[in-house]
Amino acid sequence: MECLNQRTTRTPLRAVNMALCFSFFCFIGLLCTRTVAADTLHAAAYAPLAQGTDHCVATPNDGATEFSAFDASPIQQAIDALAPLSDTVRVGGTCVGVFPRNGMTQTVYISRSLHLIGGYMPAETEVPLSADTIIDADCRGRGIVVNGPVNVTIENLAITCGDANGLGGPIADDAGNGGGLLINGANVALINTQIYGNSAQKGGGVFIGSTLTLGAGSVISHNVAAVDGGGVYVNSTAATSALVLDGGEISHNVAGRDGGGAYIDDPATKYTQNGGVIGYNQAARDGGGLYVNRGQATLLGGQVISNTVQDFEGGGIYLATITGQLFISNTQILHNSALNNDGGGITTNGGLTMINSEVAYNHAYDDGGGIDNDVQGLTLIVDSFIHDNTGRVNGGGIDSDAPLEIRNTRFEGNVTTFNNPPAFESDGGGGLHASAPITVIDSHFENNSSAGRGGGLFLTGGVTTTALISNTNILGNFAAGDGGGLRSFTNLTVVDSTIANNVSLEDGGGIDDDYGRILVRNSLLQNNSTAEDGGGIEVNGVLTVEGSTIISNTAGFTGGGIWVEKTTTIRNSTIISNAATLAGGGFTNSRGVATIESSIIAQNSTPNAGGGLLNSEAGRLTLRNSQVRDNRAVDGGGIANLNGAMLIEGSEISSNQANNGGAIFNTASTSMLSMINSTVSANAGLSTAGG
């Protein structure tokens, strides 16, 4: 820390010196690179404030009495001289140095209620419009200590070069903490004040043992904590400790462990963000922007932007335990990164509620590019927009291992990028990956993509885990593996939903199931495509389709509309205008037990066998009270029964066309076909009977 302990000329060039000193932050092994654009954008906010005089001047009574020196002593003299009924100390110039008081070393010690205002000039009594006063601890102690049950407002000041390492405090928890500002038992408000270039064990900029409100124009930046809370550490040394960000900014701070921007500690601690920014902070472990341990965080506006964690989770925000609570409303979580782990934007191990917020352009090396919902608590997301996030393995938008409820939320342009073929079995979910119970209502998944499975959604909780998708659109998603729109291994219900224009390079263009259970009710599957089986739906488990339409889907292999191999029931549904390259234009039953009731199979096609229906490989298919019409194939324009058993009851097979078996193509030696009270009419067969 040699650079932090050297004195330099106190001019605007000190900004350059402090920027060079910031390279010290790399001691914790973080990547200390920043984009030129980001630095340029925020340059004005992080430069030292303009200086009014070369010395320090302070008054406790609007200039009637003035204290002046070339060190910082006038501030303390003015505070000590403040009359009992007065509450304002005005300060001007550059105030350098530290002084002992009550066993501590700092530039300013405050133990009474007051208003400390910078920008004072002799003969001027108006409050300045901009700050022009610097409190410089010379890297030999803290900047300001506020001690006791008092109310203090600090306005138009810059507090810099405080170093609390090795120092004591009012209580044991304060030792070594709070480089720029230490608050113990007091309520402090900052207005148009900067705290920059300070260091400590915890709370490089500020250590809070009561309440701090960071108002408009105030910035806590470029501070470093060797342990936690690079910018701010909120500790429960008081009955309730709180940090309120009310239009201010916490940025470009670094923590050697957790909470690059701010660390919220115990259950009695709270963080409230009414507006403002937590941005461009870094942590070595968890919570690049904000770390919430067992406390509560409420974000009601503003941004959490471009924060980074090096080793672990929560590039923007990390909620550590189930006893912690995180509420986010009208807030943007943008451009945050977890460089080597999960949760680019947010990682939560407790309860998360998000309303009307945006999570975008975040990145995770592993799971949960936007949000990583870990193993505890319930997460509720309502009226939000999750877009353009990237997770390398699972969940480009969200990865969830805990119960999750989503309402009226859009997932667009999220991506998973891990494309090693063996990973297709377990990795994916461009928009969302969930391995726990999930409910999705009135939502929208569009143009998400996965290098593994599940372009829109990938649900892997198993048959004992419930999943509900209701009144939701799953549109235009892509999977390099199975399930262009949706891949499921759960007990899944899809109701009143549209799944359309999705693409997969393996099975299941719209929906793919891996030995789970799926109910599709009153839904539309349209224009989905796959390079292999099941253009609309491919199911290896149990499938029920009720009151739904499967239309204009395509498969490169079999089952243009639907492909099944276990137990299937289709009722009151329409399978129409689907196509398959190899066989089974509308529906393929391979080895399974399938029942189709009160349904229409029409206008499907294949250049091989089974334009409407294909029953093969010892499959058993019952067709009851249904119509199979206007389908086309080479063998079996309406139905191809190849090495299977089939019962047709109370049904109509009409107007189908094929080279062989316009209505039905049945391999007599290896297949069984029974018909009861059914009609076969107006079918056309070019080589054999049409029926």
Spell out where 537-651 has E strands. Answer: 537-539, 542-546, 549-551, 554-555, 562-564, 567-571, 574-576, 579-580, 587-590, 593-597, 600-602, 613-616, 620-624, 627-629, 632-635, 639-642, 645-649
Give the whole-angstrom CA distance, residue 689 versus residue 674.
18
Per-residue confidence band for 322, with pLDDT thresholds at 50, 70 and 90? confident
Place of tokens 């509450």: 87
Element (H, E) at 434: strand 432-434
Q: Give the C-alpha separation, 131 to 490, whole Å.
A: 60
Q: Is the pLDDT of residue 570 over 50?
A: yes
Residue environment code for 155-191, b if the CB has 16+ CB neighbours within 10 A, otherwise e: bbbbbbbbbbbebebbeebbbbbbbbbbbbbbbbbbb
Contact 97, 89 (CB under 8 A): no
**How many other CB atoms sit within 10 Å of the CB of residue 486?**
37
Residue 297 forms part of a structural domain = no
Give the model's confidence band at 27: pLDDT under 50 very low, under 70 low, under 90 confident, else very high: very low
Buried/exposed code over 521-555 (b: 16+ C-beta within 10 A; e: otherwise): bbbbbbbbbbbbbbbbbbbbbbbbbbbbbbbbbbb
Query: Distance between CA 236 and CA 31 in Å, rounded?
Result: 31
Does residue 639 fall inside a structural domain?
A: yes
Q: Indicate whether 635 belongs to any domain.
A: yes
91-104: per-residue pLDDT in tens?
A: 999 999 999 999 89
Q: How many CB atoms lie within 10 A of CB 676?
A: 10
- Is the pLDDT at 290 greater than 80? The verdict is yes
The CA radius of gyration of the chain, in Å to the nearest whole number, is 33
User: For all residues of the chain together, what is the average pLDDT?
Assistant: 89
Backbone angles phi, psi at 228, to 5 degrees: -120, 150
Give the span between the Cα atoms of 273 and 289, in whole angstroms.
13
pTM of this prediction?
0.90
Question: pLDDT higher for 227 or 45?
Answer: 227
pLDDT confidence of residue 21: 42
What does the pLDDT average to over 568-591?
98
> Does the residue 588 lie in any domain?
yes
Residue in 291, 266, 299 with CA at minimum distance from that of residue 349: 291
pLDDT band at 691 (very low <50, low <70, confident <90, very high): low
- pLDDT of 16 > 70? The answer is no
Q: How confident is the model at residue 668 (pLDDT cuts 50, 70, 90)?
A: confident
CB 506 within 8 A of CB 514: no
- The tens digit of pLDDT for each residue in 348-405 reads 998 899 999 999 999 999 999 999 998 777 789 999 999 999 999 999 999 999 999 9
> Would you say residue 166 has pLDDT above 80?
yes
- In which band, very low, low, confident or very high, does the pLDDT at 37 lie, cut at 50, 70 and 90? very low
Residues above pLDDT 70, as percent of the chain: 88
Rounded to 10 degrees, the C-alpha dihedral 673/678/684/688 comes to 30
Q: What are phi and psi of 650, to 5 degrees?
A: 60, 35
Q: For residue 459, is it within any domain?
A: no
Count of structural domains, the chain: 1
The pLDDT confidence band at residue 622, using thresholds 50, 70 and 90, is very high
Q: CA 661 to CA 644: how far, in whole Å? A: 16
The band of 421, judged by pLDDT with boundaries at 50, 70 and 90, is low
pLDDT band at 271 (very low <50, low <70, confident <90, very high): very high
Residue 26 has pLDDT above 50, yes or no: no
| pLDDT tens for each residue of 513-566 | 988 899 999 999 999 999 999 999 999 999 999 999 999 999 999 999 999 999
Is residue 127 assigned to a domain?
no
Element containing residue 74 per DSSP (H, E): helix 73-80
Domain-located, residue 67: no
- Bridge partners (DSSP) of residue 513 are 488, 539
pLDDT band at 687 (very low <50, low <70, confident <90, very high): low
What was the pLDDT predicted at 592?
96
What tens digit of pLDDT does each residue of 100-121 get?
Answer: 999 899 999 999 999 999 988 8
Residue-level pLDDT at 154: 97
pLDDT at 41 over 90: no
Q: Determine the structural domain holding residue 628 and report its residue range.
A: 533-691
Pull the structure tokens for residue 212. Answer: 């701090």
**Cα 125 from Cα 531, distance rounded (Å):** 78
**Quick one: how many helices (H) and strands (E) in the chain?**
4, 79
- Whether 200 has a pLDDT exceeding 80, the answer reads yes
Confidence grade of residue 54 (pLDDT, cut at 50, 70, 90): low
Q: Rounded to whole angstroms, how far apart are CA atoms 493 and 579?
A: 26
Task: Take residue 279 and report the two structure tokens written for it.
Answer: 């941005």
Q: Which pLDDT score is estimated for 238?
A: 60
Note the pLDDT tens digit of each residue in 444-501: 999 999 999 999 999 999 989 999 999 999 999 999 999 999 999 999 999 999 999 9
Q: Would you say residue 683 lies in a domain? A: yes
565: number of CA atoms within 13 Å, CB side? 15
Residue 109, pLDDT score = 98
What pLDDT does 350 receive?
86
DSSP states of 336-394 = -EESSSS-SSEEESSEEEEES-EEES-EESSS-SSEEE-SSS-EEEES-EEES-EESSS
| The pLDDT of residue 8 is above 50 | no
